[in-house]
Amino acid sequence: MKHLYTGFGKRLLDLVLTLPGLVVLSPLLAFVALLVWAKLDSPIFFRQVRPGLDGRPFTIYKFRTMTDARDARGNLLPNEKRLPRFGRILRSTSLDELPELFNVLKGDMSIVGPRPLLMDYFPLYTPEQARRHEVRGGVTGLAQVEGRNDLEFTDRFRLDVAYVDNISLVLDIKIIIRTIAKVIKRENIVMTERALRRRFEESARISIPK
């Protein structure tokens, strides 16, 4: 039964939620896209390669939240200095993640699953942690509703694997409902990528090549 849901059933749920969701949210998507263009210029979308199902790379889409501000030598400033108030609002409201619905539509991601992290992290997982890639990565997941970026990476990976072991329709629906509540309350706001990288390095006691 679990195998049936993780295959056909889960994909069906993704499509049932994503197709009408994109129709309903299309005015909001267009409005946010216009704001990004007006505030940050082009490109409107942030693209980055992430590991998906079985670790296969795919390109994730988000609304751009940072500027291209550079120093006198032409080098990009640190992420924290390129994240304006507008970008912080997009992140705190999770509006920057709306384009990931197109990833779900393509089949790269699922509505619910372990969040796809950087490709840099992939070779550093323990065999147990790597099990998070036995299912498609999600727009939201068990770790997100249990604490999001307030969690240490070891706890996040433990929850990701727990999701893989207990995946079900009921669990997915519970996570979706809890995610909506989290977004409304704006709890556990997303960190910058640099802060996440630092937390991962501290958790794994390694240094990721820049």
**Closest by CA position to 95, among listed 35, 156, 54, 12:** 35
Handedness of CA 142, 100, 119, 80 (dihedral sign): negative
**pLDDT above 80 for 109:** yes
Taking the CB of residue 137, how many other CB atoms lie within 10 A of it? Answer: 26
**Closest by CA position to 105, among listed 61, 48, 135, 64:** 61
Give the tens place of pLDDT for each residue, 117-161: 999 888 889 999 999 999 999 999 999 998 766 778 888 999 999
Taken as a whole, the chain contains a residue count of: 210
First to last CA, the chain: 43
Give the tens place of pLDDT for each residue, 39-79: 998 899 999 999 999 999 999 999 999 988 888 887 888 87
Q: What is the mean pLDDT of residues 187-195?
A: 54
Instruction: Point out which residues pair with 62 in neighbouring strands.
Output: 46
**Closest by CA position to 176, among listed 8, 3, 1, 10:** 10
DSSP category for residue 136: -
Spatial distance between the Cα atoms of 49 and 58, rounded to a whole number of angstroms: 5
Confidence (pTM) = 0.85
- Tokens for 194, please give them: 């640099």
How far are the Cα atoms of 29, 39, 62, 93 from residue 43, in angstroms, in the given order? Answer: 15, 11, 11, 21
For residues 162 and 175, the answer to whether their CB atoms sit within 8 Å is: no
| Domain residue spans of the chain | 2-204
